[in-house]
Structure formats: C-alpha cells, structure tokens
C-alpha cells in the first residue's frame, strides 16, 4: 500500500517530472503524426499508381513496339490466364502537346499513351479520374452533349469571324501625306455586315456568346484583347466539318491546361483553365522505325484527366489507341497486325503479382519483353518514401530517448534528496525490492501519463491537420503544403492502430528502463548509513 501511496504523491508534487512528461508527450505525438502522414502519403500514392499502371506490366524493349498477335495473347493466357481479371494493350511514347490560347501557342512535353477506354477501365478506375465522365460508367471517345454544344457554338462564332476577316481584311499600313491611317479596329466599324443573331442575344460582343472556361483569365494592366483568326493552320490537314470532332481524341491531364492565379478581389488562389472538352489541340511525336520521323496531328479533347497527383496530371495525355498506331506507322502491311509497347494486367489477387511475373518471364522471350510489377516500375519513388519514413522515425525516436534521460536525471536527484526518507522506510521494515518498486512504479506512471497524453494529442492533430495547415498558412502568409510539390491537393493521413500501440508501449518501456539505475541505487541504501548524517 505504501508503494502506491508514495508513487502517487511523488507524481502529484514533483513538478520537475512535468518536464519529462511534456517531452515524452511531444515525442509520442510527433511520431504518431509523422507516421500517419507518411503512411497516408504512401497509401494514396500506391492506390493511384496501381490504378494507372495495373498490377503487372509487360513492356517491349523498344519504343517501336511489338505486334500484338494472337500467339502473344495465347502465351499469356496459357501462362497466367486463371489469375487475370482484366488486360489492356497500350502504346506509350514521349510527345509534345501544343495548345493555342488567344494568339499564343503553349507547348509542353508529355507522355502520350494510346489506350482503349473500355479495356483500360477493366485494369483501373479510369472513369474516376475523368472530370466530366460519371464514375461507374464505361468511358469512351464520344463527346458529351455539353462538349458538342460548346464545339458547335464555338465553330459558328469562329466561322463568322473568318467571314468578316475575308470580307473586310485589315488594310496595310501605308504612309500617305495628308491621309490618316485606318487601324484594324476602325476598319471593323466600317463593316456593314451585322453580327450573328446568337451574339446579339447573349451579349454585345461575339466573345460573350462563348461558354467560358472555369474561372476568369487574369488581366494585366494595359493588356488589350486581340482578334485573331481562330482557325489554326493545322486544321487544314483534315477535310472535315469543323463542328464535328477530329478522328484523334484525347484525355488531357488537368495540370497541363490550367494554371493558378490570384483573384484580385478576394485574394484567393483559383485555377484558370485554357482548354475544355470540345477544343482541339496539336500533338507532335515520332513514328516507329529507324530512324523515326516527326509527325503532327490535331486531336479533339474529350475529357480532362485529374488523379489529384500532380506528377501525372501535368504529364499524361491519353489518346485513342487505333489512331495513334496508324499515325506512328505501327501496322504491319502484310498481316495487318498492330504493334503495342506495353500490356497492363490486373490480377484477381494482387498478392500473386510476383508469381505471375515469374511465369510470364518464362513464357515470353526476354529479348523482346520485360515483365514488372507496378511496384518495380515505380521502385525509386516508393523506395524514397520508405527511406525517408525510416529516417524520420529514427530521428523522432531520439526525442523520446531524451525524455528517458530526463527521467534518469530526475530520479537520481530524488534518490539523493530522499536519502533520509528511504532510510526511515527501511528502518520501519521496507524491503529493498519494495524501495526499488516505488521508483519503477514512478517511472511507469510517468510513461503512462506521457504516452497517453501524447496519443490523444497526436490523434487530434492528425484529424485536424488540414485545418491546422490552413491556419498556419493564413498566419504566415506562405503556403505550407503546396500540391505542386507534394503531388496531392491536401495532406493525406492514415492511422495504423498497431503503430500507435507500439509507439505508446515503446515510450513506457523507455521510462521504466530509465528508472532502473536510480531504483537499484535507492534499494542498496543501508538504513543506518542513510540516517547517520541527518
């Protein structure tokens, strides 16, 4: 009874022990927060990578690809047919995406992937990442009614502008004495042709009749709108009805056609989108063969791809597979076989990926194909996350170790200060084990309180981490979590119960271990020697 009584009294009255409790609380809370954030980041990244790449990827050793023959399909079916849930063939090549906005062309390097949406949806949640496609439906290359309406209205307006351009072109600037020059804007006012009906109904300018992209374009001081020929020179490559979509269709990463800007009225950061479904873009890539030749083609944007992982949203463009194969010359004239550069396979049991890889390596010639899991393909990225998480855990564990050394120092001070009390207890019959158990119980109590409060603080911090990040951003005026750097729009967290349990247990074990040496010293005190100098 006296052991529990003294332990509780020391815990209440020794305020110096509060320093050890606080340091242990901070250590436990920090480890829980860091592990939850790193685990959430890793889990979300793995989920999105697996959704894009599938469980197993069979890649050709050349960007020219290999024929997707019936023999190749039969080999895969015989080797792992019973383990396959879905399979799709793709063509992956580097390319340049060119987008015209106003009078300017913007070109960006991209990864162009030719896919069949129906089979691609069997190996990953493609529809989930398409902004204008309802999740759960089978994606296709057809424009939505809204996109078709937008395209036809844009074509009507564009054709009207071209007619006006041809009817009354801007005069060349000539220097004639006594005559004033007529500017392009003034020449428009001389045009007797009225504006089309749709422009009058929707606004004072033909531009007002167009559906606008998300947000308003930021305007700069002195900036003037320019009237340009809306038909690009590349549109002349195909004889077609301008209101109908092109043969080439694409899903474009959202980050490729949008950029952030600050609203001057509210001060909020918004995204301005320069391309929407129904618009046309230009793709530049190379043909198959040696040497490859450059090719250019126009494509109609069917939808925008947004996986909330900025690395993919700012680099991926999906194109219809059959058109890309034709454009790159990946069709064998004699047999009519089409070449592909990779095959993505979704398994019934993802845990069997390593076994499936070994079977496919035996079935397919290694000189032509390389078989990897999605984790192997993204190995450097995943390994970097794991190494960073391990290093952070080691560094943060040192915080708890510091708290343990604090308990060790405090207990040594207590044993020196309470030498007389220890002597009296031993003179009254307390055993050495009893004295030792007082200090061990005191250390365990400090560990319990410190780790318990740390778990509560850590879990609350994880729950409201995005709100805390927003408050710090508001307070400092600087963005703490930038999605362009960390891939995700907000901080992802995932709390693993066993991780929380072992962190708390580890903190308590450190507290008990730190109290062993002072407890042994106090247990060795002789009652007579303890009272001699009092």
Pairing of strands 294-305, 280-286: antiparallel
- Tens of pLDDT, residue by residue over 404-417, are 787 777 777 777 66
- Integer Cα distance of 261 and 216 in angstroms: 10
CA quadruple 59, 65, 66, 70: dihedral sign: positive
Do 126 and 274 lie in one domain? The reply is: yes
Do 303 and 418 lie in one domain? The reply is: no
- Calculate Rg over the CA atoms of the chain: 35
Domain presence at residue 471: yes
Do 384 and 343 lie in one domain? The reply is: no
- Integer Cα distance of 463 and 154 in angstroms: 47
Range of the domain at 280: 98-172+185-215+232-367
Rounded to two decimals, the pTM is: 0.68
Q: Which of 135, 134, 116, 133 is nearest to 125 (CA)?
A: 135
User: Do the Cβ atoms of 272 and 89 come closer than 8 Å?
Assistant: no
Do 350 and 396 lie in one domain? The reply is: no
- Integer Cα distance of 508 and 500 in angstroms: 13
Do 121 and 7 lie in one domain? The reply is: no
Which pLDDT value is given to residue 202? 39
Domain presence at residue 66: no
User: Do the Cβ atoms of 337 and 133 come closer than 8 Å?
Assistant: no
Query: What confidence tier does 262 reach under pLDDT thresholds 50, 70, 90?
Result: confident
pLDDT at 149 over 50: yes
For the segment 191-209, the average pLDDT, to the nearest whole number, is 40
Pairing of strands 84-101, 249-253: unpaired
Among candidate residues 339, 367, 395, the one where a domain is terminated:
367
Do 322 and 470 lie in one domain? The reply is: no
Q: Tokens 């000189």, residue? A: 367
Do 409 and 352 lie in one domain? The reply is: no
Domain presence at residue 180: no
For the segment 164-171, the average pLDDT, to the nearest whole number, is 53
User: Do the Cβ atoms of 275 and 99 come closer than 8 Å?
Assistant: yes
Do 303 and 352 lie in one domain? The reply is: yes
Do 328 and 423 lie in one domain? The reply is: no
User: Do the Cβ atoms of 278 and 143 come closer than 8 Å?
Assistant: yes
- Tens of pLDDT, residue by residue over 472-503, are 888 887 777 766 566 566 788 888 899 899 88
Domain presence at residue 70: no
Domain presence at residue 41: yes
Q: Which of 373, 363, 330, 370 is nearest to 74 (CA)?
A: 363
Number of compact structural domains in the chain? 2
Among candidate residues 367, 393, 417, the one where a domain is terminated:
367
The residues near 248 (Cβ < 8 Å, ≥ 6 apart) are 283, 297, 298, 299, 300, 319, 320, 323, 324, 327
Query: What confidence tier does 300 reach under pLDDT thresholds 50, 70, 90?
Result: very high
Among candidate residues 336, 367, 398, the one where a domain is terminated:
367
Do 317 and 360 lie in one domain? The reply is: yes
- Integer Cα distance of 393 and 421 in angstroms: 41
- Integer Cα distance of 153 and 79 in angstroms: 53
Residue 291: asked if its preceding bond is cis (omega within 30°), the reply is yes
pLDDT at 197 over 80: no
Domain presence at residue 89: no
Q: Three-state SS across 499-521?
A: HHHHHHHHHHHHHHHHCHHHHHH
The mean predicted confidence, pLDDT, of the chain is 76
DSSP 435-469: HHHHHHHHHHHHHHHHHHHHHHHHHHHHHTHHHHH
CA quadruple 320, 97, 369, 64: dihedral sign: positive
pLDDT at 171 over 60: no
Domain presence at residue 246: yes
Do 497 and 350 lie in one domain? The reply is: no
Which pLDDT value is given to residue 4? 59
Do 394 and 315 lie in one domain? The reply is: no
Which pLDDT value is given to residue 152? 82
């Amino acid at each position: 009874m006296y052991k529990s009584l003294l332990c509780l009294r020391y815990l209440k009255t020794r305020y110096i022990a509060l320093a050890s409790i606080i340091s242990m609380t901070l250590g436990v809370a920090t480890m829980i927060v860091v592990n939850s954030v790193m685990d959430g980041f890793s889990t979300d990244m793995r989920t999105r990578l697996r959704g894009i790449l599938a469980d197993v990827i069979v890649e050709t050793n050349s960007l020219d690809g290999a024929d997707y023959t019936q023999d190749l399909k039969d080999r895969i079916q015989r080797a792992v047919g019973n383990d396959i849930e879905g399979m799709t063939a793709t063509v992956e090549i580097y390319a340049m995406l060119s987008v015209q906005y106003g009078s300017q062309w913007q070109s960006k390097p991209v990864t162009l992937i030719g896919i069949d949406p129906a089979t691609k949806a069997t190996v990953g949640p493609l529809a989930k990442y398409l902004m204008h496609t309802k999740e759960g439906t089978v994606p296709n290359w057809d424009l939505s009614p809204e996109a078709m309406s937008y395209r036809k209205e844009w074509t009507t307006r564009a054709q009207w502008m071209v007619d006006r351009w041809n009817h009354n072109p801007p005069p060349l600037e000539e220097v004639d004495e006594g005559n004033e020059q007529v500017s392009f804007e003034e020449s428009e006012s001389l045009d007797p042709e009225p504006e089309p009906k749709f422009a009058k109904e929707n606004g004072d300018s033909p531009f007002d009749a167009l559906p606008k992209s998300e947000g308003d374009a930021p305007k700069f001081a002195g900036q003037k709108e320019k009237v340009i020929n809306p038909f690009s020179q590349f549109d002349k490559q195909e004889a077609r009805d301008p209101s109908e979509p092109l043969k080439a269709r694409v899903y474009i990463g959202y980050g490729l056609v949008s950029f952030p800007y600050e609203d001057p009225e509210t001060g909020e950061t918004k995204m301005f989108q320069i391309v929407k479904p129904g618009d046309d873009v230009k793709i530049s890539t190379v043909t198959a063969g040696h040497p490859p030749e450059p090719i250019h083609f126009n494509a109609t944007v069917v939808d925008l791809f947004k996986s909330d992982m900025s690395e993919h949203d700012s680099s991926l463009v999906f194109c219809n597979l059959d058109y890309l194969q034709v454009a790159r010359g990946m069709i064998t004239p004699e047999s009519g076989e089409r070449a592909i550069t990779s095959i993505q396979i979704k398994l019934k049991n993802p845990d069997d990926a390593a076994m499936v890889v070994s079977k496919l390596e035996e079935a397919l010639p290694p000189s032509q194909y390389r078989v990897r899991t999605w984790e192997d393909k993204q190995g450097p990225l995943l390994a970097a996350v794991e190494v960073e998480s391990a290093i952070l855990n080691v560094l943060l564990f040192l915080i708890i170790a510091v708290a343990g050394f604090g308990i060790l120092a405090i207990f040594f001070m207590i044993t020196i200060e309470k030498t007389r009390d220890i002597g009296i207890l031993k003179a009254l019959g307390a055993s050495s084990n009893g004295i030792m158990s007082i200090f061990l119980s005191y250390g365990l109590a400090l560990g319990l309180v410190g780790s318990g409060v740390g778990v509560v603080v850590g879990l609350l911090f994880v729950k409201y981490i995005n709100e805390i990040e927003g408050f710090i951003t508001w307070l400092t005026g600087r963005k703490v979590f930038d999605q362009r750097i960390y891939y995700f729009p907000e901080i992802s967290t995932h709390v693993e119960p066993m991780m929380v349990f072992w962190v708390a247990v580890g903190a308590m074990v450190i507290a008990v271990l730190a109290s062993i040496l002072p407890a042994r010293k106090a247990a060795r005190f002789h009652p007579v020697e303890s009272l001699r100098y009092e």
